[in-house]
């Protein structure tokens, strides 16, 4: 479980070992939510230690999880976002401040060394809205939880926006923090190559 600080050094070692011989930009490390409040320590320091460790690995991309908004106060959440050195994606909480990118595109190097040979886009979705609205406290995400678009409703528009802005993207990879059943439904949409 990478959500325990004790396990993060092993993750850093694994990433370094498995990345040997690969172009640096081709190894993209992601965490799809609920990493700020997974342990007793993080409940005491509001995820500060976790962000320091994530920066040390380094984790490249993250998205929100429901506990990130429910268990971390709005001011501390803003601090953690500012401290994180990777990209924080938010594709379905339009009312959240500070504004975060809804997507990012990474250019990968081909096996023969050709730079920018393939473009891959990433999106970041958090469970909420619709039937999931009741899971949030009143002040979650500074009240922006009320603006969450349910993942299955948000995906088509987010994918369309990426394809419109970046028609040469080869794949779109959604980081999702939602129920497995809804992840399976999302996969059946046929929107991801």
The predicted structure's pLDDT at residue 2: 58
Walk along the chain (193 residues) and give the pLDDT tens digit of each residue.
556 777 888 889 999 999 999 998 999 999 999 989 877 777 789 999 899 999 999 999 999 999 999 999 999 999 999 999 999 999 999 999 999 999 999 999 999 999 999 999 999 999 999 999 999 999 999 999 999 999 999 999 999 999 999 999 999 999 999 989 999 999 999 888 6
- Supply the pLDDT for residue 3: 64
SS3 content of the chain, % helix, strand, coil (to 5): 45, 15, 40
Q: What is the pLDDT of residue 44?
A: 86
* Angstrom distance (rounded) from CA 165 to CA 184: 26
Res 15: pLDDT: 94
Report d(CA 58, CA 51) in Å as an integer. 10
- Can you tell me the distance from the alpha carbon of 122 to that of 106, in angstroms, rounded to the nearest whole number? 8
Tokens of 42: 């993080």
Reference 10, options 1, 19, 22; nearest CA is: 1
pLDDT at 193: 64
Interatomic CA distance for residues 8 and 24, integer angstroms: 20
What pLDDT shows up at residue 17? 95
My answer on whether omega of the bond before 98 falls inside 30° of 0, hence cis, is yes
- Which pLDDT value is given to residue 115? 95
């Amino acid at each position: 479980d990478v959500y325990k600080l004790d396990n993060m050094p092993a993750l850093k070692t694994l990433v370094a070992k498995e990345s040997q011989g690969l172009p640096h930009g081709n190894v993209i490390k992601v965490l799809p939510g609920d990493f700020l409040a997974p342990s007793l320590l993080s409940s005491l320091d509001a995820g500060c230690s976790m962000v320091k460790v994530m920066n040390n690995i380094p984790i490249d991309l993250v998205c929100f999880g429901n506990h990130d908004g429910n268990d971390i106060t709005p001011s501390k959440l803003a601090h953690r976002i500012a401290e994180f050195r990777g990209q924080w994606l938010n594709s379905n909480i339009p009312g959240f401040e500070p504004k975060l990118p809804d997507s990012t595109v990474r250019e990968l190097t081909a096996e023969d060394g050709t730079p920018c040979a393939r473009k891959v886009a990433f999106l970041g979705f958090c469970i909420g809205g619709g039937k999931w609205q009741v899971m949030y406290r009143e002040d979650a995400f500074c009240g922006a939880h009320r603006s969450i678009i349910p993942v299955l409703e948000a995906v088509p528009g987010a994918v369309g926006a990426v394809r419109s802005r970046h028609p040469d993207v080869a794949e779109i990879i959604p980081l999702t923090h939602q129920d497995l059943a809804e992840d399976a439904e999302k996969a059946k949409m046929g929107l991801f190559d």
